[in-house]
Homo-oligomer: A and B are copies of this chain.
Amino acid sequence: MAGHDSSSLTSRDEDFPRWYQEVVAQAELAENGPVRGTMVIRPWGYGIWELLAAELDRRIKDAGAENAYFPLFIPESYLRLEAQHVEGFSPELAVVTHGGGRELDEPVVVRPTSETVVNSYLSKWVQSYRDLPMCLNQWANVVRWELRPRLLLRTSEFLWQEGHTAHATAAEAQAYALQILRDVYLDTMSTVLATPVSAGHKTARERFAGAVRTWTCEGMMGDGKALQMGTSHELGQNFSRAFDITFATAEGGVEHAWQTSWGVSTRLLGALVMVHGDDHGLRLPPALAPAEVVVLVVRSTPEVEAQARAIVEGLISSGHRARLDARVDTGFGRRSVEWERKGVPVRVEVGPRDLADGIATVVTRHSREKRPVALGEVVGTVSELLATVGPVLLAEATAACRQRTTEVTNVEEAIEVAGSGFARLPVAAMGPAGEDRLAGHALSVRCIQHADGSLFDPAMTGAPTLEEQPDAGDLVALVGRSY
């Protein structure tokens, strides 16, 4: 395959943004599209996304949501029905003015998110309490015009899932937004992405346009900056009032539904690079590796090929995604570097010399450790190794995040330490003016959580927003510089 080479990577510590770009290119994850800000997701990147999407999809269905598909094109007038929503998204819209060779009567926008169009249908489909909860999800592309695009992290078009739900009570909607946050997002982040995240809610300043509360998962990248990795919004009755989503109650009344929306995107592939990558490229947790193991033929002989094939088959029989690399007309060194850049968790090298000794060489990507393994034990050894990779990557990332997180007592201290890491600032010591002051230093409150890292429980207070919460108690603002 073309497009990669064995040229050396910039070191991560030397120039993190450049290192990131090089890894994305050399691991063949993605490239810039021809229209500024768009991207091409290459097979290796898309393979990771397929695995991640399947993990998310299973959890979303377990949470009771059904998949559906809503149109890409939304009448401009729909956006205007929720005032905050249109204000938030207007600057990012792509607008179609011509269709089928003619100017359109009403321009249509390419969806930046689908609250408006989904809710215009929920107003038809939700009639009675019997129809609730109605929990929908869609896998789709969305477009938000980006002035400072960055591959995978901030692109004018990206892929995502977006959930949209309607419930009979505020408490149910709140509970569902949290269920998605915990059972879908937090669980996937730790067990699949092997990435530690801080969860909490957003301040009013950082809230989704149209939400009453936004829950978020914030990850710390390898340079100490923060990445918003997923959000789950309580929409209250904002959209159900704008789109007239009402239902007949069991008691004969009529009420507006309570709603949520939530999403994660291909941005998570960028997080994967920035959390787990090293100076040799990507390091993949096996759960997201299109190939968990690649068996390389070092130099071809009939015996070597047969043995390599037997190992691949043994690994596949053991339930692993394993591939054979017998492209011996490409140099072995070049191929090794290719799989290393791509982050394949384990490589098995089979060559004539090793074979004569009855062994193969097993290389662990995350530690770069090589070890000779007797041929009869390769499959078992690789299986055991693979089981350890995810937990090790998670432990490493957790340690790095802890090391760069500092408890502070006032805004000035937060300004000093945040940016190359997180500062944890008591909300009581911040105040609304504090948030402005942080913004002046390109810092923001990534989320609010309890001092022990747990989520602020809205059910305990009933306060719909932090601002209406008179006593911040032990709440802490996680301060960082955001991607």
Contact = CB atoms under 8 A, between A and B. Distances in A.
Contacts of A69: 40-41, 46, 49, 159
Nearest to A50: B67
A131 interface: yes
Contacts of A66: 43, 46-47
A94 B96 contact: yes
Contacts of A330: 130
B100 A145 contact: yes
A249 to B, nearest CB: 13
B35 A124 contact: no
B41 A100 contact: no
A272 to B, nearest CB: 16
A127 interface: yes
Interface of A: 1-3, 31, 33-35, 38-43, 46-47, 49-50, 66-75, 78, 90-101, 107-108, 110, 117, 120-121, 124-128, 130-131, 136, 140-141, 143, 145-147, 156-157, 159, 327, 329-330
17 contacts: A1-B125, A33-B71, A34-B71, A34-B117, A38-B71, A38-B72, A40-B69, A46-B68, A73-B156, A91-B100, A92-B100, A93-B99, A95-B99, A96-B96, A97-B97, A97-B98, A99-B156
Nearest to A121: B40
Interface core residue of A71, A92, A126 (most chain B CB under 10 Å): A71
Contacts of A70: 33, 40
A125 B28 CA distance: 11
Nearest to A126: B2
A33 B111 CA distance: 13
B120 A2 contact: no
A121 B93 CA distance: 27
